[in-house]
Structure formats: C-alpha cells, structure tokens
Amino acid sequence: MGPTSHAWFPTILAFCFFSPSGITPNSESFIHCRPATSISEATTSHNSSQFLLLSRTSLMALSRILSSLLLLFGAAVPLSGATNSEGEALHSLRTRLTDPTNVLQSWDPTLVNPCTWFHVTCDDQNRVIRLDLGNSNISGSLGPDLGRLKHLQYLELYRNSFDGKIPEELGNLMNLVSLDLFGNLLEGNIPKSLAKLKKLRFLRLNNNKLTGSIPRELTALSNLRVFDVSNNNLCGTIPTDGPFASFPLQSFENNSKINGPELQGLVPYDFGC
C-alpha cells in the first residue's frame, strides 16, 4: 500500500464465454465460467462484452450479499428515538434485578434496539409491545422507568420474586391490555394511577403482600374483564360499580380484612382499614 490507504472489496475473477449458435447474454444457462488464474488473464484474454456480463452478474450477486448483511446487522443500528428510550428503560430495569439463571443474558446494553432481546416483543415499527418474564426466577424491584414503555400492551411478570411497591408510573402505559404481577412479593397499596389504563382487560395482582383498600377509581375501567386480588392483605369493601359488578367473589378471597361487597351509603369503602 502507498502512503494513503483505500477501502477495497475482495474480488473473485473468472472468465465467462458463450456457447455458439448466437446465444444472447440473457441466456445464462449457456454461459460457462471458470476461475481466472490471474488478474492479467481475466482482464486481457477475453473481449469486453464477456467481461461486461461478468461485471453485471457480479454486481447483482454483491447487491444480494450486501442486502443480506444489512438484514443481519440492521437490528444493531438505532432505528428511532422511541426504540432508544425503550432500550434505556429496559436496561434500567435490568440493573435492578437478580437473574440467577441468566434469563436476561441477551439484554446487551450496547445494542440499543431491544427488539433483538429475548422475552421482548416489538411491533413492525420496532416499538416494544410485550415484556414476557413470567416464571423466570427473577428477584428485585420494579422501577419507574417501566412507565417509559409507551407502546407496551402486555406486561407479564408473574411468578417471580419481585418485591417493593407497584410503580405509580405504570399508569402511563396507556396501551396496556394485560398487567400480570401475580405470585410475587409486592407490597404497599394498589396505585390509583392504574385507573388511567382505559384499554386494560386483565389485571392480576393476586398472591402478593398488597395492603390498603381497592381503589374505587378502578371501577371506571370499562374494558376490564379479569380482576384478581385474592391472597393479599387488603382491607375495606369490594367495589360493586362498573365491571366489578360481574367479578366473582373468588377474585377477592383470602384477604382477612376485606368485609364483603360494598353497601353504598351504609358502609364506607375503606371500612376496616
């Protein structure tokens, strides 16, 4: 190399010649090729039309190779500001967790696009829509950064050892359809902010250590179809408005301080708390 270096691609040279009978260059089944023994042989022993065909074919092949490489490595390239923010939010969650079985091993912070990580699902615009970490033997606390996953539809964190409080910021997940936190060690009150999740259909908080009363604001969740807070330490009465009118009593059982369905006007909803 001289004093200045240049980018280059390795090139495989070959001669190609046509069978007789007036075959045109488009009849590729009649083209015969063999590797050139040297650059000189490839460039001087054959006429320009034959070499032009080789060049065109080579460029088409190179184009296919480059397209494949872009598909292979494109996931490592930041695709949008939303994706960057979501990757940062998930990495922040990762730093809070203990993961003895390396379930989160693929959560590489150097790959800003989290769509390549296991247990993370994205839509066709590379926005995170699912987080599936149920039954993963993970422990630690949930942080406020989860509230930055604005496009999240399913948050499945059941049957782990998550502790601490349910973040108020989960109320920012306006597209959430399913929130499954059952079978953990969560404590504190059920956040009233969850009443902002107007698309929510499934809310399972059973088998935790939650305290306080059931927020009456949740009765405004008209799309809610499944609600379970059994096996906690909740108090007060059971709401009877909105979707709560159809939830079975089993959804509230084994809360020693819950006093049964609310008798509006007679017993305050937080009676016994």
User: What does the pLDDT read at residue 261?
Assistant: 83
pLDDT tens per residue across span 232-252 = 999 999 999 999 999 999 999
pLDDT tens per residue across span 205-217 = 999 999 999 999 9
Q: Which residues of the chain, if any, have pLDDT below 70?
A: 1-83, 112, 263-268, 271
User: What does the pLDDT read at residue 223?
Assistant: 98
Q: What is the C-alpha to C-alpha distance for residues 146 and 171, in angstroms, rounded to an integer?
A: 10
Cβ atoms within 10 Å of 213's Cβ, excluding its own: 21
- Both tokens assigned to 198: 């107007």
Give the per-residue SS3 of the chain.
Answer: CCCCCCCCCCCCCEEEEECCCCCCCCCHHHEEEEECCCHHHHHHCCCHHHHHHHHHHHHHHHHHHHHHHHHHHHHHCCCCHHHHHHHHHHHHHHHHEECCCCCCCCCCCCCCCHHHCCCEEECCCCCEEEEECCCCCCEEECCHHHHHCCCCCEEECCCCEEEEECCHHHHHCCCCCEEECCCCEEEECCCHHHHHCCCCCEEECCCCEEEECCCHHHHHCCCCCEEECCCCEEEEEECCCHHHHHCCHHHHCCCCEEEEECCCCCCCCCCCC
User: What does the pLDDT read at residue 84?
Assistant: 81
User: What does the pLDDT read at residue 82?
Assistant: 59
Name the residue type at position 249.
L
Domains and CATH numbers, the chain: 14-72 (no CATH), 81-261 (3.80.10.10)
Instruction: Evaluate whether 165 touches 188 at the Cβ level (below 8 Å).
Output: yes
User: What does the pLDDT read at residue 15?
Assistant: 44
Which among 80, 155, 75, 169 has a CA at the least distance from the CA of 125?
A: 80
Q: What is the C-alpha to C-alpha distance for residues 149 and 132, in angstroms, rounded to an integer?
A: 14
Q: What is the C-alpha to C-alpha distance for residues 260 and 273, in angstroms, rounded to an integer?
A: 13
Cβ atoms within 10 Å of 157's Cβ, excluding its own: 22
Q: Which residues contact 217 (CB under 8 A, 6 or more apart)?
A: 192, 194, 195
To the question of pTM greater than 0.85 for the whole model, the response is no
Which among 256, 218, 217 has a CA at the least distance from the CA of 234?
A: 256
Q: What is the C-alpha to C-alpha distance for residues 195 and 76, in angstroms, rounded to an integer?
A: 37
User: What does the pLDDT read at residue 113?
Assistant: 85
User: What does the pLDDT read at residue 259?
Assistant: 84
Which residues on adjacent β-strands are paired with residue 204?
180, 228
